[in-house]
Structures are given as C-alpha cells and as structure tokens.
C-alpha cells in the first residue's frame, strides 16, 4: 500500500521508522511515571501494554531490516562475519541495558525513561549521519528487469 502512494524508503529510512516507534515506548513509561509522581496512585496496566506494543512493533521493524542491510552491504566473502557483528551489537546493548537498569533506583522514573528515549534518539541521529556519509555505498543496486 505504501509503495503505491509514495516512494519506498531505503533500508536506513525503514530502520529510522522502526526506531521512531521504539522511542515512543519509553516515553509512554515516562508519562506513566509522571502520572504516578503527580497522583501517588498506581497507573493502569494499559500503560505497560502500550509500552510493550510500541517497543515490540518498533523492534520488529528494526531488527530484520538491519540484518538485511548488514548481509546485503557486506563485502563478498565476509557476509557471515558481518551478520555476527550485527548480532554482537545486541550483546553490547544488553550490557548497557544492565548498567542503565542500575540507575532505576537512583533517578526519578520520568528521568530514567527519558534517558532511554534520549539514547535511542541519539542512535537515530547517528543513523542519519551514516545515511548522509555512506548512503550511496549502502544503497541497493537495483537491476533493470530482463527484456521480454
């Protein structure tokens, strides 16, 4: 449907869409934390469901597109190594997540979750820079359809 109405974005554009959706997830928790701080009452389970829906939807649009980009743009002969590098970054991200989790009791909830959103926003800015610097290199080489 999208491709019929607009030009389909490149892979980094698709990753930015997924990342934008992901950024909304901790913002939802920040708003829930602000509500708890303001009212002193627990919030509805709907806040948690909204967080997980946005986080999972964004991640589902980010992970496979990034994997496709890494495997397609890798130099011939090192495709599997680049896929391993792509997977390794998730281990690094999980270590960072563990560190950030330690800040939960040291920071107000709103600030804690906005820190997460800010880190993801920084990742989006870095993706935009990568697109600007290496966009042509990373762009897929489309072949014209064979003549009938």
Whether residue 106 has pLDDT greater than 90: yes
Alpha-carbon torsion, ordered 18, 54, 118, 95, to 10 deg: -90
Would you state the pLDDT for residue 141? 60
**pLDDT by residue (tens digit) across 43-97?**
999 999 999 999 999 999 999 999 988 888 888 889 899 999 999 988 998 899 8
Q: What is the pLDDT of residue 70?
A: 86
Task: Give the predicted TM-score (pTM) of the model.
Answer: 0.82
Residue 140 has pLDDT above 70, yes or no: no
Q: Looking at the predicted structure, is the pLDDT value of residue 4 above 60? A: yes
pLDDT at 17 over 50: yes
State the Cα–Cα distance between residues 56 and 42, nearest whole angstrom: 24
8 Å CB contact between 109 and 35: no
Q: What is the mean pLDDT of residues 98-107?
A: 91
**Rg of the chain in Å (alpha carbons):** 19
Within a 10 A sphere around the Cβ of 66, how many other Cβ atoms?
19
């Amino acid at each position: 449907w999208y491709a019929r109405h607009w030009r389909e974005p490149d892979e980094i554009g698709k990753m930015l869409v997924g990342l934008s959706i992901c950024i909304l997830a901790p913002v939802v928790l920040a708003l829930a934390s602000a509500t708890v701080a303001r009212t002193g009452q627990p919030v509805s389970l709907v806040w948690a469901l909204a967080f997980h829906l946005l986080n999972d939807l964004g991640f589902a649009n980010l992970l496979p597109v990034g994997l496709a980009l890494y495997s397609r743009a890798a130099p011939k002969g090192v495709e599997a190594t680049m896929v391993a590098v792509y997977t390794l970054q998730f281990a690094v991200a999980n270590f960072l997540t563990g560190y950030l989790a330690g800040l939960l009791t040291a920071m107000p909830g709103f600030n804690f979750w906005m820190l997460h959103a800010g880190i993801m926003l920084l990742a989006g800015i870095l993706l935009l820079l990568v697109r600007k610097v290496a966009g042509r290199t990373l762009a897929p080489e489309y072949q014209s359809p064979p003549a009938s």
